Every structure is written in structure tokens, then in C-alpha cells.
């Protein structure tokens, strides 16, 4: 488990192509979110859950993978599945539209299939946003079983007191 202003995770997030304010304390969109980082500090994931009324894309209400950066922490598709499983541990009832993520094919390393790691993790290509980003979606019935993140139980116990 991590948090939206974790300085270690922020350093990794600052190197992601969609980072708008490098060095800013928070690296997630406003609103509900969960953040995970690997023990080796080489990968960061953020799931945002924006309120549907503030969303401009056609997947309003879905969880959004707003950040994933892997700098050698393991196989990206496996890290993605683990992050979805830990998101489910935090929020056990996924929205009807599941989770979506958006990829800017012009900003990632040139490869045969932009978003391939998401596809290997179980996401499906579902179209493009009005701005041209590739959209990938994982519906609730396609998600892995929930799995607690390291440190999640300690954080929940600390919240109770």
C-alpha cells in the first residue's frame, strides 16, 4: 500500500509520460484513489474512482487506472493483475463498467501493440477517447480474485484507532 503523495512513488510517477506537474506532491487525480508500489520501489500503480458526473469519457463510473509505471519490477502484465486484485481488496464491489485505462500510443516506446501488457493482463481494447487515446477495459467478471496488498491490513488497523 502507498498513498497519493508518497515521495518514493512520486519519483517514479514523475517519470511517467502523463505526469502534468512534475514534482507536485500529489500524483493522482482528485477524488477517491488507491495507490500501490512494489517493495523494490520500481513500479507504481494508481486506481482512481472519479465521480461519474465529472467524467468526460464514455466509461463514466468505471475505475480508472490513472498511473502505471514499471521500471523493472517484474513482468508488467503480472503487476497489472496484482494491482487489479489489490484494488478489489480495497474496494470489493467493482462498478458495472469495471476498470479502464488509456494509452497514448505516441508517448510509449514504439511496439507492435501499444497496450499489450494490459491485453496480456486481461484488459480488452474498447476504442479511443475523443482525444485519440487507446482505451482498454476489464469488466468485473474478468477481474482476478481480491488480494490484500502488503501493508494494507496494518493501514486498516491504524485507521480504526
Tell me, yes or no, whether 30 lies in a domain: yes
Domain membership of residue 12 as a residue range: 7-160
pLDDT in tens, 82-133: 999 999 999 999 999 999 999 988 877 766 788 999 999 999 999 999 999 9
pLDDT in tens, 122-141: 999 999 999 999 999 999 99
Residue 95: the pLDDT is 95
Tell me, yes or no, whether 2 lies in a domain: no
| Rounded-to-integer distance, Cα 114 and Cα 123, Å | 13
Residue 124: the pLDDT is 97
> Distance of CA 86 to CAs 19, 81, 115, Å?
23, 9, 21
State the CATH number of the domain containing residue 97: 3.40.630.30
| Rounded-to-integer distance, Cα 46 and Cα 37, Å | 9
Q: Are 47 and 34 in contact (CB under 8 A)?
A: yes
51-88 exposure pattern, b = at least 16 Cβ within 10 A, e = fewer: eeeeeebebeebbbbbbbbbeebeebbebbbbbbbbbb
Residue 85: the pLDDT is 97
| Rounded-to-integer distance, Cα 46 and Cα 83, Å | 8
Counting the structural domains of the chain, the total is 1
Return phi, psi of residue 70, to 5°.
Answer: -120, 120
Residue 70's DSSP bridge partners are: 43
Tell me, yes or no, whether 1 lies in a domain: no
Amino acid at each position: 500500500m502507498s498513498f497519493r503523495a508518497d515521495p518514493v512513488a512520486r519519483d517514479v510517477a514523475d517519470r511517467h509520460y502523463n505526469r502534468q506537474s512534475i514534482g507536485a506532491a500529489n500524483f493522482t487525480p482528485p477524488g477517491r484513489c488507491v495507490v500501490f508500489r512494489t517493495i523494490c520501489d520500481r513500479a507504481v500503480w494508481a486506481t482512481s474512482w472519479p465521480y461519474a458526473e465529472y467524467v468526460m469519457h464514455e466509461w463514466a463510473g468505471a475505475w480508472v487506472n490513472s498511473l502505471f509505471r514499471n521500471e523493472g519490477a517484474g513482468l508488467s502484465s503480472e503487476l497489472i493483475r496484482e494491482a487489479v486484485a489489490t484494488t478489489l481488496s480495497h474496494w470489493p464491489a467493482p462498478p458495472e463498467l469495471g476498470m479502464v485505462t488509456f494509452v497514448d500510443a505516441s508517448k510509449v516506446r514504439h511496439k507492435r501493440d501499444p497496450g499489450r501488457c494490459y491485453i496480456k493482463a486481461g484488459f480488452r481494447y474498447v476504442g479511443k477517447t475523443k482525444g485519440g487515446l487507446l482505451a482498454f477495459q476489464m469488466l468485473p467478471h474478468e477481474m482476478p480474485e481480491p488480494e490484500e496488498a502488503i501493508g494494507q491490513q496494518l493501514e486498516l488497523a491504524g485507521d480504526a484507532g
